[in-house]
Every structure is written in C-alpha cells, then in structure tokens.
Amino acid sequence: MIAGYPLDTIYLYILIGCTVISILLFIFGDIFDFDGPLDPMLMVPWIAFTSLFGIIGENFFNLKSLVVFLISGGIATIIVFLMNFYILVPLKNSESSIAITEKDLEGQKATVITPIPLKGMGEIKISSVTGTITRPASYYKPQVEEVKAGSDVLVIEIKDRVCYVVPYKENFI
C-alpha cells in the first residue's frame, strides 16, 4: 500500500493515464518531433506495460511488490525494445507517400505508346515501382525521324504536363 491505496489500484490508475496519453500522442504525435533519449512513443508504452504486468503480478502471484515491479519492468523493457525495433523504426524510415512528382520523372526511360511525329505530340508510358504513368510527349529538340510505338525514349524535361523527350540510346557516345 502506498498512501493508503493498494498497489494494484495505483497500477490501474497509471494504466488508464497511459491510455489517455497514448490516444493524445496518436492524434497529435506528428506535431511534436521527439528524437531524444526520452521519446514519449517509447516511455508511455513502457509505463503502460509495467502497470499492466504489475496488476497481473499483484493479483495472481504471491510475490513481494518490489519483485513484481522489477519483473514487470523487465518484461515491459523487452516488449518496448521489440516494438521499437520492429515497428516504430521501420515506420519512421518509411516514405509517407508513394506519389511521384513530375521532377522525379525527368531522366527516366519511357516507352512510346503513340508514335511521336516530327512536329507534334505522341504518348509515352513510364513504368516505376509505384505503377505506370502515361503522359503526352513531344521532342526536346528537332529530330530527323519520328519514334515508332514500342521504342524507348529518355524524358529530358516536363513542362505543363508534357514530357519533352529524345530517342533513347543505350550508349550515348
């Protein structure tokens, strides 16, 4: 008992408090960037798991309170380490979007779908990891002959959603 309250009641109140803090971190966690040694995304679950296993230890095992606290803290440390290593770190390192910008398309190799006339536009297909994009295409500089469907081109520049291309050659030398 601490201040007249049983330890399992104190553990329960701490667990409820951690639940409320976890909900607030879930909603507002992206606003704050915690990169220090005391990251709330790690501390709150550690306290919550320690409280949870403290309730279980106090109610179901006949051990001293200090032993229950140390065992529950050790189990919580292992769980939070695994959670951080296998869930939080990969989520922080992952991209937030799979969208591609027009600037990313410049320098990409594309395949001609609709032949590009010498003075006019055709259509190209750009394949990437995120999928396939089709765009209208025109020559970057004047050409001698038109590129036929199925040929490869290199995207040089994109203006107003139109790709300006040159015929793709494996070796530019």
Question: pLDDT of 146-160, one tens digit each?
Answer: 888 888 999 999 888
Reading the block at residue 77, the tokens are 């440390």
Domain C-terminal end among 78, 98, 118: 98
**Are 75 and 111 in the same domain?**
no
> Is-contact 122 136, C-beta < 8 A?
yes
- The one-letter code for the residue type at 129 is V
What's 153's domain CATH number?
A: 2.40.50.140
Q: What is the pLDDT of residue 39?
A: 76
**Are 50 and 121 in the same domain?**
no
Interatomic CA distance for residues 164 and 8, integer angstroms: 70
Would the pTM count as exceeding 0.75? no
Mapped onto helix, strand or coil, the DSSP state of residue 32 is: coil
Reading the block at residue 165, the tokens are 């291309």
| β-strand partners of 133 | 126
> What is the rounded (10 degree) CA torsion for 56, 58, 62, 67?
100
**Are 146 and 79 in the same domain?**
no
Mapped onto helix, strand or coil, the DSSP state of residue 170 is: coil
The residue segments making up the domain with residue 157 are 102-167
Phi-psi region of 161 (alpha: psi -120 to 50; beta: other; left: phi over 0): left
Q: What is the pLDDT of residue 68?
A: 92
The ranges of the chain with pLDDT < 70 are 1, 29-30, 32-36, 95-99, 171-173
Domain C-terminal end among 48, 82, 98: 98
H or E element that contains 9: helix 7-28
Number of domains in the chain: 2
DSSP 95-150: -S-----HHHHTT-EEEEEE-B-TTS-EEEEEEETTEEEEEEEEESS--SSPBPTT
**Are 76 and 121 in the same domain?**
no
Domain C-terminal end among 74, 98, 122: 98
